[in-house]
A and B are shown apart, each in its own frame.
Chain A
Amino acid sequence: MTAVGFGLTQQDDAPNGLSFAPGLACGPVAKAKPLDGYHLGGDQFRGCAFEEIVEMDQPGREHRLALLEPQAGRMAGRGKVLGEFGSRGRFARIMQSIGNSADQPLDVEEGHGRGCGAIWLPKLSGLWQFEPIEIAIPVGDIIGRLQNRWLARLAETAEEWSAFVSILSRWEDNNLLDNPTPELLADHKATVERLLAFGSSLSLATENRRFPDRRVAEMVAATQVVLQDKLRMWHSPRMSRTESDRLLAACFSDTQ
Chain B
Amino acid sequence: MSLELERLLNALWERDYCEPKDRARWKATAERLIADACTGCPGLGREQFMDALTPPL
Contact of B56 among A219, A221, A229, A240 (CB under 8 A): A240
A252 & B51 in contact (Cβ 8 Å cutoff): no
Q: How many residues does chain A have at the interface if contact means C-beta atoms less than 8 Å apart?
A: 36
A247 & B41 in contact (Cβ 8 Å cutoff): yes
Q: Could you give, for residues 227-256 of chain A, a 1 whenever the CB lies within 8 Å of some chain B CB and a 0 otherwise?
A: 001101100101111011001101111111
- B residues with a Cβ closer than 8 A to A are 1-5, 15-21, 23-24, 26-28, 31, 37-38, 40-41, 44, 47-54, 56-57
A256 & B15 in contact (Cβ 8 Å cutoff): no
- A residues with a Cβ closer than 8 A to B are 158-159, 162-163, 165-166, 169-170, 215, 218-219, 221-223, 225-226, 229-230, 232-233, 236, 238-241, 243-244, 247-248, 250-256
A222 & B52 in contact (Cβ 8 Å cutoff): no
CB distance from B51 to the nearest CB of A (A): 5
Complex contacts, B26 vs chain A, CB 8 Å: 222
Per the bound structure, the CA–CA distance linking A232 and B51 in Å amounts to 8
Per the bound structure, the CA–CA distance linking A188 and B4 in Å amounts to 30
CB distance from A248 to the nearest CB of B (A): 6
B40 & A253 in contact (Cβ 8 Å cutoff): yes
A255 & B5 in contact (Cβ 8 Å cutoff): yes
Q: How many A-B residue pairs have CB under 8 A?
A: 99
A250 & B20 in contact (Cβ 8 Å cutoff): no
A239 and B20 in contact, given A244-B56, A250-B40, A255-B2 (Cβ under 8 angstroms): no
B15 & A226 in contact (Cβ 8 Å cutoff): yes
A163 and B54 in contact, given A226-B15, A251-B40, A255-B5 (Cβ under 8 angstroms): no
CB distance from A87 to the nearest CB of B (A): 30
Smallest Cβ-Cβ distance to A224: which chain B residue:
B27
